[in-house]
Amino acid sequence: MFMKRVFIDTDGEFDDFMALVLALKSKDLDVVGISTLSGIRNLRDSTDDVLNAVELLGRVDVPVAEGLEVSMSQDLAEERKNILRIWKSGGRASTRAIRRPGLTPVKEDGVSLMIRKVMEAPGDVTLITLGALTNVASALLREPKFAKKVKEVYSMGGAVLVSGNTTPVAEFNIWGDPLAAKIFFNSGMHITMVGLETYYQPVLSGEEWAKVREVNEATRYCFENFDPWFSYLIGLHPDWKGGLQIGDALTVGAAIDPALMKCRRCFVDVETKGELTVGQTVAYGLSRRHPLPKEANTDLTVDCDWKRFNSLFVERATS
């Protein structure tokens, strides 16, 4: 069986945890390393839950390295206060992981591990990004040859054809570090953008989640640890009828089987200075009125075969 070599950069939230379940249980993926970064929680919380995923899935062979705590261009303090309020409303005193992992991060920092794994196998490593792009942009700045050595990138982030989830025009991962995102999209790497156009399409039913939840120690831990967040999401999306979305796992699914996604080739850039639009992903080349200003840099996912993906996810998560 052909195995695609992948490196995953993640902020360790619930949907990232499920993305790791899919990646680490997929025999057609060789996860060569994982780097962590802060997002709606701090770096320690994020890293602990990535370590918990790796440890509880029995994949201690996969190196996990702690990446960057601070965004290049955004102050996330208020966002983390809001998340803490959600956690407290669910009966938790903090956003810390309820289980201290037995594993520890490797001594190498996350950006260095990312660079090393890509440079050791030039043209062979697919990068999967599931958080803000701080670590990736830092790798691009630190190693000028990095962009040309990456095989391809599948990136969860952005909103072009739909509204944002953090501001009316900005998705959280891009908004969380718009300068890093601008560096990323202008790097020359081959990018497939799994934005909010497709992120919310895969929603597992309550019955499907029940199967996933009970299948192993890792998934049981995930549901217990992120219970306050689940309660918040279920209240936010009553139309899901107790189901939950797995948009970050869809990004891993796209790397496994690109045919799951329908894409449009375009040029994407990021607004870094707008008073009301910071973090907006702007696409050119989708209509004759807005032609490409330069060579296209992104495959924008505009639709997905979510039913087939849901089946793929449940089958592999419960295997």
Q: What is the DSSP string of 188-235?
A: ---EEEE-HHHHTS-EE-HHHHHHHHTSSHHHHHHHHHTHHHHHHHHH
| Mean pLDDT, residues 292-306 | 96
| Global pTM value | 0.97
Owning domain of residue 157: 4-317
pLDDT of 1 over the 80 cut = no
pLDDT digit string, tens, across residues 104-137: 999 999 999 999 999 999 999 999 999 999 999 9
At what angle are helices 217-225 and 43-56 packed, to 10 degrees?
150
pLDDT of 121: 98
State residue 269's pLDDT score. Answer: 98
Mean pLDDT of 258-285: 97
Whether residue 241 has pLDDT greater than 80: no
* Identity of the residue numbered 114: M
Predicted confidence at residue 26, as pLDDT, reads: 97
Mean local confidence (pLDDT), 29-58:
97
Q: What is the pLDDT of residue 237?
A: 82
Number of H helices, E strands in the chain: 14, 11
Phi-psi region of 242 (alpha: psi -120 to 50; beta: other; left: phi over 0): left
Query: With 90 as the cut, is the pLDDT of residue 174 above it?
Result: yes
Out of 95-109, 224-238, 272-286, which region has the weakest mean confidence (pLDDT)?
Answer: 224-238
pLDDT score of 92 more than 70: yes
158-170 tens-digit pLDDT? 999 999 999 999 9
Instruction: For residue 186, give the CATH number of its domain.
Output: 3.90.245.10
Among left, alpha and beta (phi > 0; psi -120 to 50; other), residue 168 is alpha
**pLDDT grade, residue 210 (50/70/90)?**
confident
Please state, in angstroms and rounded to a whole number, the distance separating the CA atoms of residues 284 and 267: 5
Predicted confidence at residue 71, as pLDDT, reads: 96
3-state secondary structure 261-302: EEEEEEEEEECCCCCCCCCEEEEECCECCECCCCCCCEEEEE
How much of the chain exceeds pLDDT 70, in percent? 100
What integer pLDDT is reported at residue 47 of this predicted model? 98
If one counts every other C-beta atom within 10 angstroms of the C-beta of residue 255, the result is: 26
Largest pairwise CA distance in the chain: 56
Instruction: Estimate the crossing angle of helix 306-317 against helix 14-24, to 10 degrees.
Output: 70
pLDDT tens for residues 177-200?
999 999 999 999 999 999 999 999
- Classify 55 as helix, strand or coil: helix
The torsion angles phi and psi of 170, rounded to 5 degrees, stand at: -125, 135
> Tens digits of per-residue pLDDT, 215-229?
899 999 999 999 999
**Bridge partners, residue 266, by sequence:** 298
73: which residues sit within 8 A by CB, 6+ positions away?
177, 178, 179, 180, 272
Mean pLDDT of the 287-294 span: 91
| Residue-level pLDDT at 299 | 98
To the nearest 5 percent, what fractions of the chain are helix, strand and coil? 40, 20, 40
Count of structural domains, the chain:
1
Q: Answer for the pair 39, 131: CB distance below 8 angstroms, yes or no.
A: yes
pLDDT of residue 42: 95
**What element of type H or E holds 44?**
helix 43-56
Least confident of 7-16, 46-55, 229-238, 302-311: 229-238
Side chain identity at residue 279, one-letter code = G
- DSSP 8-state class, residue 93: S
242: pLDDT strictly greater than 80: no
Q: What single DSSP character describes residue 303?
A: E
Mean pLDDT of 86-96: 93
pLDDT of residue 249: 97
Q: In this structure, which long-range contacts are made by residues 218-221, counting pairs with CB atoms below 8 Å and at least 24 apart in sequence?
A: 218/21, 218/52, 218/53, 218/56, 218/57, 219/21, 219/317, 221/52, 221/56, 221/98, 221/99
Mean pLDDT, the chain, whole residue set: 95
